Amino acid sequence: MGESPRAVFDAAYYRRFYRDRPVHGRAQIAKLAAGIVGLCGWWYVPVRSVLDVGAGPGFWRDWFAANRPSVRYTSIDVSEYACRRYGHRQADITQWHPARPSDLVICQGVLHYLDDDAVGRALDNLAAATRSVIYFEIPTASDRDAVVDQDRTDLAVHWRDGDWYRQRVDAHFVELGCGLWYSRSGPMSFYELERAPSRTDRGPL
């Protein structure tokens, strides 16, 4: 997850945010994973390989192992503790990208921990890592004030507005909604109302 105001993803962090009162438990991630894979199927996007960035407690890995065991799954995390405890490869997405892209990339709860320059480097690497679909979960300043459960959410992050992220993510991906984006280098086309207008369509931010 890179450098952050907290920058310590140790046992205490995982106990606080993933065990005692988790925002997303195993059952919720299972629903999310099934929904995303189902939408990929609807779009005829094959999911033969998955990269999970900031894989944390490994809930995505467990779902794929149980439900799509033939998928080539790779998980990375910057946390030495998480990698040792949950069996991921230790890597920082701001500095690392895989030798080959994956059909589906998961980037849940990562970018808001990074400073501005690191977000740009991470997005370049994520774009290189994504053959088709990427899922982002990035809480924004508006979410902090109106959506997130502040008792169960790590607030020691960079709180930015949604347009700040869209301006940067849009350079690499087409927004499909619900956190799903499609690689601009991919061959798929989408109905107009399946996707959000691009920055060019919207005009300058």
* 58-117 per-position pLDDT tens digit: 999 999 999 999 999 999 999 999 999 999 999 999 999 899 999 999 999 999 999 999
* 161-202 per-position pLDDT tens digit: 999 999 999 999 999 999 999 999 998 999 999 999 876 554
Compute the distance between CA of residue 192 and CA of residue 189 in angstroms, rounded to an integer: 9
Look at the alpha carbons of 84, 87, 15, 113 in this order and tell me if their dihedral is positive or negative.
positive
141, 147 in Cβ contact below 8 A? Answer: no
Backbone angles phi, psi at 132, to 5 degrees: -135, -75
Give percent of the chain above pLDDT 70.
Answer: 93
Instruction: Give, in words, the CATH class of 11-202.
Output: alpha beta
pTM: 0.91
* 109-165 per-position pLDDT tens digit: 999 999 999 999 999 999 999 999 999 999 999 999 999 888 788 888 999 999 999
Compute the distance between CA of residue 77 and CA of residue 87 in angstroms, rounded to an integer: 10
Would you list the domain boundaries of the chain? Answer: 11-202
From 195, 199, 192, select the one nearest 170 (Cα to Cα).
Answer: 199
Selected residue with higher pLDDT from 199 and 11 = 11
Selected residue with higher pLDDT from 93 and 16 = 93
Backbone angles phi, psi at 23, to 5 degrees: -70, -45
